[in-house]
């Protein structure tokens, strides 16, 4: 399906933070979850995508990053050429995986919360897994993606912080990541290369999100 115009986000607002998937909002619209290791630039990417500097809070806000954070989004885009419509969907900011600086008890609780959400939340249309483009493939990222593959969760890989290193390094790390995934994945997920600072990749992300919105509504 072709997309005639990129979607435009008209409204983005915080809705609720939930301690488990059963307390999340009703699953009556498409939902897109963002997750990655700590310090991968998730909040910056979400804020860049929605063009709001204060939408997603950084880890300096106690409690927020320990829960399932829902944002209500309204966007416009074309269902058929020349006809723009309003779409409503959820963007979800998930706690980072790894939890290197927390207790084993807290780590396990968060891991269970995330797993239950990812496996049982019925309206998840895509999980965007953020990867720091400055580094070669990390075992923790590959292991997390392999879990998603096993759980049959739809995945798009988003490389962040491409403005922090030269393009040759980014290209090499992205290539190596793809080669590492090929060891366990028959078909690789889509890769999107981004920079929250320079807004690189924003149009591609919007295009993917709009396509998924259209699929949800059976267009």
The model's pLDDT over 172-208, given as tens digits with 9 standing for 90+, comes to: 999 999 999 999 999 999 999 999 999 999 999 999 9
How far, in Å, CA of 123 to CA of 68, rounded?
14
Whether 3 is covered by a domain: the verdict is: no
Residues 144, 92: Cα–Cα separation, whole Å: 18
Q: Are 79 and 219 in contact (CB under 8 A)?
A: yes
Q: What 3-state class would DSSP assign to 46? A: helix
pLDDT of residue 100: 59
> Does 209 reside within a domain?
yes
Residue 1 lies in a domain: no
What is the distance between the alpha carbons of residues 106 and 109, in angstroms, rounded to a whole number? Answer: 5
What CA–CA distances, in Å, run from 174 to 121, 134, 143, 186, 202?
Answer: 30, 9, 16, 18, 18
Instruction: Identify whether 2 is part of a domain.
Output: no
- Is the pLDDT reported for residue 39 higher than 90? no
Distance, CA of 123 to CA of 216 (rounded, Å): 9
* CATH code where residue 173 lies: 3.40.50.300
Q: What is the pLDDT of residues 56-81, one digit of tens each?
A: 875 554 434 689 999 999 999 988 77
The CA-to-CA distance between both ends of the chain, in Å, stands at 9
The residues facing 156 across adjacent strands are 128, 190
| Residue 96: predicted pLDDT | 85
Question: Of 15-29, 39-53, 63-77, 90-104, where does mean pLDDT reach its minimum?
Answer: 90-104
Please answer whether residues 30 and 211 qualify as being in contact, where contact means their C-beta atoms are separated by less than 8 angstroms: no
Task: Provide CB contacts within 8 A for 19, sequence distance 6+.
Answer: 67, 68, 113
Residue 93, domain member (yes or no) = yes
Question: How many independent structural domains does the chain possess?
Answer: 1
Q: Are 27 and 123 in contact (CB under 8 A)?
A: yes
For residue 98, the model assigns a pLDDT of 72
Q: Establish if 152 belongs to a structural domain.
A: yes
- 33 located within any domain: yes
Containing structural domain, residue 42: 8-216
Residue 86 in any domain: the answer is yes
């Amino acid at each position: 399906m072709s997309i005639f115009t990129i979607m435009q986000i008209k409204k983005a607002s915080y809705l609720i933070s939930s301690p488990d998937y059963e307390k999340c909002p009703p699953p009556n619209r498409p939902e897109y979850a963002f997750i990655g290791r700590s310090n991968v630039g998730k909040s910056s990417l979400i804020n860049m995508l929605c063009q709001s500097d204060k939408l997603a809070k950084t880890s300096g806000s106690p409690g927020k990053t320990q829960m399932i954070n829902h944002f209500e989004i309204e966007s416009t885009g074309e269902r058929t050429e020349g006809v723009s419509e309003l779409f409503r969907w959820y963007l979800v900011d998930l706690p980072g995986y790894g939890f290197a600086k927390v207790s084993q008890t807290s780590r396990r609780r968060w891991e269970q919360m995330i797993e239950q959400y990812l496996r049982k939340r019925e309206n998840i249309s895509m999980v965007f897994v953020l990867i720091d483009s400055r580094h070669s493939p990390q075992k923790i990222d590959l292991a997390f993606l392999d879990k998603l593959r096993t759980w049959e969760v739809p995945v798009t890989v988003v490389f962040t912080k491409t403005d922090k290193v030269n393009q040759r390094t980014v290209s090499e790390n992205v290539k190596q990541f793809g080669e590492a995934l090929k060891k366990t994945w028959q078909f690789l997920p889509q890769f999107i290369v981004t920079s929250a600072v320079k807004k690189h990749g924003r149009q591609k992300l919007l295009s993917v999100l709009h396509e998924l919105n259209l699929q949800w509504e059976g267009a």
